[in-house]
Amino acid sequence: MQMKKIRVLLVKPRGFCAGVARAVEAVDSLLDHVRPHVYALHEIVHNRTLVADFERRGVIFVSSISSIPRGAVAVFSAHGVSPAARREAARRELRVLDCTCPLVAKVHAEARRYQESGYRIVLLGREGHDEVEGVWGEAPGRITLVSTPEQASNLRFEPGDKVAYLVQTTWTPDEARSIVEILRRRAPQIEGPAKNDICYATQNRQNALRAVAREADVVLVAGSANSCNSSNLAAVARAEGSVSYLLDDAGCLDSSWFDGVATVAITSGASVPETVVSGMVAWLHARFSVTVEERVMAMESVYFTACNACLKPVVEPRK
């Protein structure tokens, strides 16, 4: 029996951004030096495959600093943490490897600058997201979180208010733009960051998928549900009229998804290892006659200096 033919379009750029690559490299190095356990405040990145792998290798993920034994080795995730978490880590004498993405650190710095200048800050982002909670902690009395246009429309400003906005780095540019437009109508004096807060990788992956999605009957987005940038990629595909599935790995694939399907596009969020994508392609090869085309829509050359410069004081116990 002849196998069904499917064309697979591999969308590029996809996968690790510079911030995730930096964090993963740092934790890999840390695990070469520290036994038996390394503690991580929240998931290092929002990807179940990576988290499960690190757990197998001795990383214990916790939701609060108080769960980490005094003096232990701890990792701050790429999403950043609040000043309160840093103070608590110091009180508990933790040896900390800080893997905060430099782009997230920039948003923290902007929040501090606006707070020190007496601004009321509107933070655009997803409620409960680790990055949002960390930024909110920089100025909890001055920051208002806005997640929808409706929430932005309900805000009240006075003409003399000093108002600024910040944006979660992994939001969609279109989503942020629509809310900023509402804020500008309600507070024409509102200020924003000198440069766009939204991560270059988030923008590049969305733009690349948007350019390819309409050629595909089905779009597969490799990524975890708690990853904002991955779930936003699935939303981009739907907005372009494609059927899209957000899935952790090839084990989630279903043959029925490909009934009547001739072309499949595959991309992955900024915290997803390439092995997940190759596993999905292998799954398709095992069931269909597959031809693969790489669609390179942009080249990325961003690299962040490794945070392993802080590794020595972390891995050497205090005397």
Long-range contacts for 145-151 (Cβ within 8 Å, ≥24 apart)?
A: 146/122, 146/179, 146/183, 148/179, 149/178, 149/179, 149/182
Residues classed as catalytic: 131
Q: Which of the 8 DSSP states describes residue 4?
A: P
Residue 319: what pLDDT?
44
pLDDT tens-place string over residues 65-87 = 999 999 999 999 999 999 999 99
Over residues 4-18, mean pLDDT: 96
Q: What DSSP assignment string belongs to 274-299?
A: HHHHHHHHHHHHHHSEEEEEEEE---
Residue 35: what pLDDT?
75
Residue 183: what pLDDT?
96
pLDDT tens-place string over residues 265-312 = 999 999 999 999 999 999 999 999 999 999 999 999 888 887 755 555
Residue 37: what pLDDT?
86
Over residues 48-66, mean pLDDT: 94
Strand partners, 20: none
* Domains of the chain as residue ranges with CATH: 5-16+200-296 (3.40.1010.20), 18-101+304-315 (3.40.50.11270), 103-186 (3.40.1010.20)
318 has pLDDT over 80: no
By C-alpha distance, which of 160, 138, 272 is closest to 205? 272
Residue 312: what pLDDT?
52
What average pLDDT does the chain have?
92
Residue 310: what pLDDT?
54
